[in-house]
């Protein structure tokens, strides 16, 4: 289905030109306005796939402020239209986390490219948020053991006693079992919150290990059972690890 779009542009001639361009490209214009406050109302009411927003709108609210409100209330992606490409304008516009910029005067191919990329990226972002919410729901209702993770389009059940260690990988984490490794989107902090502190310990800013999988400690490393290798110990975590292994 073609993307549905809300146009926010206070220059009537330019707004009509944008509408013609969009319809020629096959998109559906579900609404148009030159007023920032009305743009927010229309975004909430119409829920288009995307909002094309001029930055410099006349009135008490500019396009950046309107985009921030639309993002907060609907999560819809916004592409900014602007005749200004200076660093100051772009710096202020980044606050609203737009999905792209289209410079005036624009070409149809630029509009098409920006919209397609924005719609695709927003779809991917929405999937990540949905996955995060599903995992949070699983982790906060009932018993969090076993651990459920999204992997290859399905939820995988992991038994906590089978985990050796967890490693941070930028925007992902790797969960290492004896013979397998699962990669899932998230942060080490979020995973740590879902693991029982009685069984797991943070040994490094990038690593969590299961206590009963530790074969030995040879500073500055933890040696794991079954030849699973070694995990580094961060300087600020060593004393806590020693206390966990030798409780007083």
Q: Does residue 164 contact residue 210 with C-beta atoms inside 8 Å?
A: yes
Domains of the chain: 4-131 (3.40.50.2300), 145-245 (2.40.50.1020)
User: What pLDDT, on the 0 to 100 scale, is given for residue 91?
Assistant: 82
4 forms beta bridges with 28
pTM summary value: 0.56
- 3-state percent breakdown (helix, strand, coil) of the chain, nearest 5: 45, 30, 30
In this predicted structure, what is the pLDDT of residue 143? 45
DSSP symbols for 30-55: EEEES-HHHHHHHHHHH--SEEEEES
Q: Quick one: pLDDT at residue 247?
A: 67
> How much is the pLDDT for 144?
45
Residue length of the chain: 248
| DSSP per-residue letters across 97-132 | --SEEEESSP-HHHHHHHHHHHHHHHHHHHHHHHHH
Give me the average pLDDT of each 10-residue run along the chain (248 residues).
92 93 96 94 96 90 93 93 81 88 90 94 81 58 59 76 91 88 86 88 94 91 89 90 79
Question: How many Cβ atoms sit within 10 Å of the Cβ of residue 93?
Answer: 21
The first and second tokens of residue 224, run together, are 């794991």
Q: Judge residue 91's burial from the number of C-beta atoms within 10 Å of its C-beta, 0-12 exposed, 13-18 middle, 19 or more buried.
A: exposed
What pLDDT shows up at residue 142?
44
């Amino acid at each position: 289905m073609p993307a549905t779009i809300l146009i926010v542009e206070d220059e009537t001639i330019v707004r009509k030109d944008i509408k013609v361009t969009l319809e020629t490209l096959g998109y559906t214009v579900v609404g148009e306005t030159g007023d920032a406050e009305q743009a927010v109302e229309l975004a909430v009411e119409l829920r288009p796939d995307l909002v094309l927003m001029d930055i410099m709108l006349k009135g008490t609210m500019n396009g950046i402020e309107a985009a921030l409100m639309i993002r907060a209330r609907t999560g819809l992606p916004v592409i900014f239209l602007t005749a200004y490409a200076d660093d100051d304008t772009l710096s202020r516009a980044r606050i609203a986390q737009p999905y792209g910029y289209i410079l005036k005067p624009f070409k149809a191919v630029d509009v098409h490219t920006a919209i397609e990329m924005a719609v695709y990226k927003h779809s991917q972002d929405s999937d990540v948020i949905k996955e995060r919410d599903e995992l949070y729901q699983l982790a906060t209702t009932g018993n969090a053991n076993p651990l459920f993770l999204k992997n290859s389009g399905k939820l995988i059940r992991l038994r906590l006693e089978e985990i050796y260690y967890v490693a941070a990988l930028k925007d992902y984490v790797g969960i290492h079992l004896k013979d397998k490794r699962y990669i899932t989107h998230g942060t080490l902090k979020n995973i740590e919150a879902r693991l029982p502190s009685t069984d797991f310990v943070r040994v490094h800013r990038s690593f969590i290990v299961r206590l009963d999988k530790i074969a030995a400690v040879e500073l500055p490393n933890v040696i794991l059972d079954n030849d699973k290798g070694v995990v580094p110990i961060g300087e600020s975590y060593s004393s806590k690890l020693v206390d966990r292994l030798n409780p007083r």
